[in-house]
Amino acid sequence: MKIKNGSGPQVSMFASRFGVLGLLMLSLFSFHAAAQTKYEIVPDEEKRKTVTNFNNKKTSVDIEHVISFSLTRNRNVNKNQPRLKNNTISLSEGAFGIKLNSSVEEMMNVLGTPTSTLNLSENTALFSYGRNLWIVTVNGLVHQVSNENQWVSSSLTNLIAFDDRFDNQWKIQDSVGYELSKAAIDAMKLNGQYVGKNTYRFTGPNGEQLDALLTVRSINGDRALVVTGFNYTLAQSNVKNMLSLTAVTESKEVIEYIEDRRAQGETIALDELTFTPSFEAFSEDGAIIQVYENNLVLQFQYDELNKLSVYEGLFDFEEKNQKWQYAKHYSGQSGDEVMQMYGDEVMGLDNYWQVFLDDAKYDFYFDETESGLALVEFEMEFF
């Protein structure tokens, strides 16, 4: 599933394949000042196309399945999502009303507009609703639902908006709740079984797996294994083996464009970008976040680029400590070299420095090495 950048003051388009005949295209309609999170399903008659087969017979087939949506850019984004049907996580009812093999359309009908989307491969995508619900789809169908983030680093997760609907009030199979102890599970004599010491699994008739995930926690001063999460998945899906970031546009290409515009003294508007990010989300304050490859983060406030960050790695399934370069700065750059560039303009102590220029503020984050300070993260905030 690939994210495609939109045009105009909209956010973006998301696209995915539905097998051979189906194509899920998530495009955008115009953003209005009073708009809230919403979407619309394109009527069936607009999704049909007449084709001629090898016997010269004409057949009408569903070739496009289109969903249009827009994202609100204000702090009230969660107030306009649909109410949850329930807080149940079960083999018979699914997770919050979403069953495995549900379509993306069905997911959005029940849960509303996703907070973020990440391309994992050509036909695999990760959606999040806030920071506590993560859904993997393959060929446009739900393969995994979990409250535990296995994909996105904390640096990136901390940028995206919350979704207040997904707290810890859920119940697994109507009996296993948040912070229930292993001892309590054992006493219930449920029809599940342990897979290792930290996973208690219920198995459905078609191979579905519903796991209660346990972690050692200190409860009232005592340490014990307690339930902290759930994972609901198709046993045969092998989601973990599908984790491979789809780098739609290289970060180098985006950086060159931004630097060229800055050299001309121009601002960068969201609707001017023709690049396709690998990850896209909106933040708590309504900013739009785009990620290119595994290290470049752009933040747009009111459709204009206002912050840029470069990291050594943003996705947990990718190799960490990847090398990056932004203009004259790069990963591993020595503190001495940075100091030579800016001299008395440098403010800060230890591993964090700031430099104020005419049009931007630079933030430098260093690691201490045997040979001195080495740059690991770099951020620009535009004025």
Token code pair at residue 81: 């999502």
Residue 329 vs residues 250, 299, 323: alpha-carbon distances, Å: 17, 19, 11
Surface-to-core class of residue 306, CB atoms within 10 Å of its CB (0-12 exposed, 13-18 middle, 19+ buried):
middle
Judged by DSSP in three states, 23 sits in strand
Amino acid at 223: R
Tell me the pLDDT tens digit for each residue of 120-172.
Answer: 877 888 999 999 999 999 888 999 999 999 889 999 999 999 998 998 999 99
Of 358 and 37, the structure prediction assigns the larger pLDDT to 358
124 forms bridges with which residues in the sheet? Answer: 138
For the segment 36-61, the average pLDDT, to the nearest whole number, is 48
Q: What are 23's two structure tokens?
A: 């194509």
Mean pLDDT of 273-287: 87
Beta bridge partners of 50: 60
Quickly tell me which residue has 């535009």 as its tokens. Answer: 382
Q: What is the mean pLDDT of residues 85-114?
A: 93
pLDDT band at 240 (very low <50, low <70, confident <90, very high): low
- Per-residue pLDDT reduced to its tens digit, 315-369: 887 766 678 899 899 999 999 999 999 999 999 878 999 999 888 999 999 999 9
Tokens of 59: 């057949």
Can you name the residues that pair with 330 across neighbouring β-strands?
325
- Please, which residues have CB within 8 angstroms of residue 32's CB and are 6 or more apart in sequence? none
If pLDDT is split at 50, 70 and 90, which confidence band does 85 have? confident
Separation of alpha carbons 80 and 76, rounded Å: 7
Q: 26-30, 101-105, 212-216, 248-252 — which one is most confidently predicted on average?
A: 212-216
Share of the chain above pLDDT 70, in %: 75
Per-residue pLDDT reduced to its tens digit, 296-325: 999 998 889 999 999 988 888 776 667 889
The total number of residues written for the chain in this structure: 383
Residues facing 204 on adjacent strands: none
Average pLDDT, the chain: 80
Structure tokens at 131: 């920071």
Which residue intervals of 210-294 are DSSP H helices?
Answer: 251-263
Compute the distance between CA of residue 25 and CA of residue 28 in angstroms, rounded to an integer. 10
